[in-house]
Structures are given as C-alpha cells and as structure tokens.
Amino acid sequence: MHGATSTPPLCSASDGRRSATLQVPALGSTEAMRFCGPASASIRLNGKRYRIEGGHCFYGRPPYKRTILSGVAIGLITNPPKRPGFGISLFWDPPVTRAGSLVIDDSEIELNGMRIAASGQVYVAGGLRAGSFRLYGRDASGLTGPRLRGSWTCG
C-alpha cells in the first residue's frame, strides 16, 4: 500500500527532551512530520484562535546553538493524500543572530482542515526564543488566501 493509512507519529518524553522531528515516510516522499519539544504557537485565522503545542526552534549547530535561528516548527504537518494536520512551520534564510523583522522563505500552516502556504513578515524577539508573524496565504500568482497572525515561543 502507498502508506496513506499509516498513523502519524506521536512524541515520547524522550522525543520531547531532544526536540525530535518524527517522520512517516511514503513512497518517494514524507507523509507526515511531527515536531516534538517545548515550543508552542498561537495563531489567529478568520477570527478564530488556535493553539498548537509541541515543537521546536531550529538553531545553529554547536558551538553556535541558540545564537543562530533559522526557523520554527510546531505540531503535525502532513502531505496529501493525508488530511491536513495541525501545525505550523516557518523558515528563513539567512538565519538570524539578533532580534528583528524578516521575510520568511518557506512555510506550511495546517489548521481547521486547510493547508496554507504563506508569505509575510516574522519578528524574532530578543534572545531568539520567541517571535510573532503576519502572513498571507499565497500561490504562484500572489496573495490569494487568508491572512494569519500569531506568535510562537521556543519553550
């Protein structure tokens, strides 16, 4: 079978402590990714607030850990034919070393049965442990989807 009937992974206590990314492989791709760890996000979409728990921030490798931040991923992200998960991932390049605003390079937001590829601004707070965002859904033709706003903390 193609793997579409497999169960998305769940985080163990050990996965949470090591800020693991758990993947369910499918033929030629990844079917689902669950992000483990202390990170959380709050997202407002179409007047409704969503809270997502369990994930992590992507820091530089030692000896730069926690001094270089390149993204955040929280919750469960799936790929078709799986139903959308309940999660968010935001990435930017180059990684940041201090607080400030930036434009994201890649994103996936899955909420309320929707998959949203988004563009927009992220503000990384001092200490690189939290931030906020204002995003809009998009496709190749530009702004086409919902506007989202929210915040995250690395935990």
Q: What is the pLDDT of residue 110?
A: 96
Count CA atoms within 13 Å of residue 19 on its CB side.
13
Q: What is the distance between the alpha carbons of residues 10 and 23, in angstroms, rounded to a whole number?
A: 10
Residue 97 lies in a domain: yes
Instruction: Report whether 74 contacts 41 (CB < 8 A).
Output: yes
Q: What is the distance between the alpha carbons of residues 24 and 127, in angstroms, rounded to a whole number?
A: 33
Domain residues for the domain of 98 are 13-153
Residue 4 lies in a domain: no
Residue 83 lies in a domain: yes
Residue 1 lies in a domain: no
Q: What is the pLDDT of residue 15?
A: 95
Q: What is the pLDDT of residue 67?
A: 87
Residue 6 lies in a domain: no
Q: What is the distance between the alpha carbons of residues 139 and 142, in angstroms, rounded to a whole number?
A: 5
Domain count for the chain, please give it. 1
Q: What is the pLDDT along the chain (155 residues), one digit of tens a residue?
A: 344 457 778 999 999 999 999 998 866 678 999 999 999 999 999 899 999 999 999 998 766 677 899 999 999 999 988 899 999 999 999 999 999 999 999 999 999 899 999 999 999 999 999 999 999 987 655 666 789 999 999 98
Residue 2 lies in a domain: no
Q: What is the distance between the alpha carbons of residues 59 and 129, in angstroms, rounded to a whole number?
A: 10
